[in-house]
Chain A
Amino acid sequence: MKQLRILAVDDDPFTLKMLDKKLVKEGYDIETASDGVEAIKLISQKFYDIIITDLVMPGGVDGIDVLEAAKTQNKQTEVILLTAHASVENAVEAMRKGAFDYLQKPVNFYELTLRMEKIRDYKKMFKNAQDLREAMDVTEQNAAQTIQLLEMNVAELNNVVSEIRRVIMNQSIDPNKCVARVLDIVSS
């Protein structure tokens, strides 16, 4: 699977720098945005596999807004929210709106990379399931065409056989005429 594209969003330059440094070191392809407004602009321009965003940010666009914008743009984008104000309500609201997970600040990078590996596995499984479904659809469509053609042909042939049987069993028909009729039925 190709490298995951990450967008990290935080108004705290120190956290943002740390995220950038650590995730680059881990081999991720990462971009950063210093607030929600900039993040939403970037999200509208390109696809990110994972967005790691602070929950509370100045400028009128918070982490939930970033999450919603990301999900509207592309449902395949997974969002991890970071917050210094850990509260169950915030977590529940974020998860309900489609966040993949929720981490408390200060960020524990080991925990973060574990979550990202989980997302990578999840995306792999999702892609496998999609591939399987597509393969199944193609197989099913091909099989359906063949089976339906056979079904109609068999029905038609059955009708021909019944008609021939009816003619042959009809003893009032002269045998020579009978053969002629059968030939007519077969050639029609």
Chain B
Amino acid sequence: MIKVATDDIKAISKYILDISGIDLNEGKAYLIETRLGGLIKEYECSSYRDLCSKAKTDSNKSIENKIIDAISTNETLFFRDSGPFEVLQHKILPDLIDRRTEKSSGLLPIPIRIWSTACSTGQEVYSIAIVLKELLPDLNKYNIKLLGTDISDSAIKQASYGTYNKFEIERGLSKEKLQKYFIPNGGNWKISDELRAMVSFTKRNILESFMGLGKLDIIFCRNVAIYFDLEERKKLFENIASVLEPDGFLIIGSTESLTGICPIFEPKRYLKTIYYQLR
């Protein structure tokens, strides 16, 4: 594997920060070699700096997209941590539906808008869809918009296909849910059409403008901000606050905290899990 020159680490880290927001501080420089080593060969570059230069001048951004795919971590599984999905099912959705029903004229379906900010290959979004389906058997009474976004092209593509291999399917899904919501597809499993139809996926870098998103009722932003520096985190959660309905809900990763990052949010506890609402 080609070694990264010490002098180049700063420039490459800066480039990665610019295109993805991912903060490769000095301790993580090894990620440059392990994750971008393959691209050096693919694009016949003499060094990592050379790879970045090629990416910058590549007009269709295919090298940049490949760098983002390689550097971003797609660790995800169905019903990761379980707590957030229990809160969603037993606290957040019932509360939200009660309030929205009070406000509703009864003529139009009740809107529920949920956003998974870094949905990776789709497991979180489909877990949310399963919770919605189990809680609300009559989905037609609601106008559900479930949006999954991610910075990685290839992750969004897989999420959109909704197809998972045996390793992915074994992580977090009970046999009962697998049989109920997935269809065997070759050696893989594909999400049912009904659940797939509830979701839309788009590529989006959440450190860029939130234009066009509209207002959201529930936002999942779990284990994403951990890759950003403090300033980026502050900006991100302020932006999230600006698109969240005043009575909306935010869920972050189980080991994350908003203390010192975004005082607009107030932590609340339900069973063993914390969720946030605007003060």
- Residues on A facing B (Cβ under 8 Å): 75, 96-98, 140-141, 143-144, 147-148, 150-152, 154-155, 158
Give chain A nearest CB distance to B172 CB in angstroms. 11
Known: A75-B166, A96-B187, A148-B269. A154 touches B274 (CB 8 A): no
Known A141-B254, A148-B269; further 5 A-B contacts with Cβ < 8 A: A75-B166, A140-B81, A144-B81, A152-B267, A152-B274
Contact (Cβ within 8 A) B267 A144: no
B residues in contact with A155, CB < 8 Å: 259, 266-267
Give chain B nearest CB distance to A119 CB in angstroms. 16
The answer, among A75, A98, A151, A158, for a CB contact under 8 Å with B257, is A151
Known: A98-B187, A150-B259. A140 touches B166 (CB 8 A): no
The answer, among B255, B266, B272, B273, for a CB contact under 8 Å with A140, is B255
Interface of A is mostly: helix
Contact (Cβ within 8 A) A151 B255: no
- Residues on B facing A (Cβ under 8 Å): 81, 166, 170, 186-187, 254-259, 263, 266-267, 269, 272-274
Contact (Cβ within 8 A) A143 B187: no
Q: What is the CA–CA distance of A97 and B255 in the complex, to the nearest angstrom?
A: 39
Q: What is the CA–CA distance of A140 and B82 in the complex, to the nearest angstrom?
A: 13
Q: What is the CA–CA distance of A64 and B193 in the complex, to the nearest angstrom?
A: 30
B residues in contact with A140, CB < 8 Å: 81, 254-255
Contact (Cβ within 8 A) A144 B254: yes
Known: A96-B186, A97-B187. A152 touches B254 (CB 8 A): no
B residues in contact with A98, CB < 8 Å: 166, 187
Contact (Cβ within 8 A) B255 A144: yes
CB-CB nearest in chain B for A140? B255
A residues in contact with B266, CB < 8 Å: 155
The 10 sampled A-B contact pairs (Cβ below 8 Å) are: A75-B166, A96-B186, A98-B166, A141-B254, A151-B257, A151-B267, A151-B274, A152-B267, A155-B266, A158-B263
